[in-house]
Structure 1
Amino acid sequence: CIGEVAAASGPSAASEASGAAAEGRAAQDAAEDGQTPAKRPKVDAPGEDSAAKEKMRTQAPVQLLASTRRITEFSSARQPSSGDRIVYVSGSFDMFHVGHAQFLKDARALGSFLFVGIHDDSEVGTAKGAGFPVMTLNERVLNVCACKWVDEVIIGAPKVVTEDLIKSWNIHVVVRGSGHTRDEGDRRSCEDYAVPKTLGIYRELPSQWPRLCRDTVVQRIIAEREVYLQRNRDRASREDAYYTRKDQLNSPLEV
């Protein structure tokens, strides 16, 4: 009988056998009443719950969904007037940093209205290689919009500055940064500015942060990877403890 098996197998088996007996009685009572017997809630094995939470935390997709309202909240909403001297710059602006901000500030000083063209993800990937950009187009757009010296952003701007683009946006000056440590491998990008050079509206601004670029930011992250991982592990354990306490407080009282 169930009692004999439970006694021979120890406390754990006794608990399981008692539960099975209770479930059997509940099923029999439900069948007599013409009802479908209720199923017992599944109890995860030790470690399964934390493993599931860890998987959800590390593998859940994170995608920034930009709306017109959200972009407006980040932008200046200013429109160019007939008296404005319009400056245009373009780039990927991946991993936005102080070098980007300084470049945009210096470019804005050459006029009174700053247009910033941001290349789309496929354009950046083709130019920089697999794995780039690190940030999506939407993320890069919001970062640049939030910069105080930027008046308007062109989303998915072409890499080549064409005459049509210059005339459509009434651009007076086209600016490109120079003096970065990566410039030696970026000679081909000079061809993208052939039209503004011909029109005599091309300017170069030497970088005030020549050794700071997206690559150096990425290298810093990699160098501090273990510190970052440990910080996340500590945070994960605190989150797990919080949700465990929350579940215990919200669980129904046993009768």
Structure 2
Amino acid sequence: MTDTGDLVWSGPIGPSYNVRVQDYNGAPVLAHFSGEGTAGASAVVGHGYGGITVRDTSYNVITRVCPTLNHFTMETGVTAECHADVHESFITARNTMLVTAYNTTRADLTSVGGPKDGWILDSMAVELNITTGHALGMYFSSRVHSPICRLIRTISHWLGSVPGKVIIKVRHYWSTFLVNPQGKILWEINGLDGGDFGKLPEGAAFSWQHFARIQSISSTQAVISWFGNNNYLPDLGNMKPTTGVTL
């Protein structure tokens, strides 16, 4: 829409998420997620399955990124052709795409009072070839965190990339991590206690955050912003103001 409220373009009818302008091959594009199959079914809460459509400045489709990941399992009764989640579809300076995905994975849940042969939704961060949709690299939360309760539906968004590294925001853990190509966590910023960088400034605490973004970065420092949601659906009886935070 224009700044006077006139319609410029209307997209396809159906669930669409994460609509934003990005750069691809040196030109501005519009990228958006659209769900497929039963991505909106009651079995799928807080995430989804689908692909990402990339459009040029005339709103023509350049490509549709439809990742089909190996050894990928969805919830019982859920079907979808593409495996990307709704929360992130970030185009990098390398003209690749970073997305999230949720794989239903067997896990030992005895540490949290569950069965030894149980199931988790394993949060995945995936780098994709935009042309083919093939995975270039994958990061699994289940391979780095313990106890198991921290793993269940934790990774909510990719943030973007630092040369050779990736920033991952974990909403249910109130944290943001810098991760190297081998999957090792290099540092953590936590909205409650500051994480590896010490106590946060007064008024800067945040929780249940969304949309962490790198605003600027150098070899010695970075400026990152967050939307501090500060609320969680099961606890709506104790609502708190949302905030914008930049550190």
TM-score normalised by structure 2 residue count: 0.24
More helix by share: 1
- Greater length-normalized contact order (CA 8 Å, ≥ 6 residues apart): 1
TM-score normalised by structure 1 residue count: 0.23
More strand by share: 2
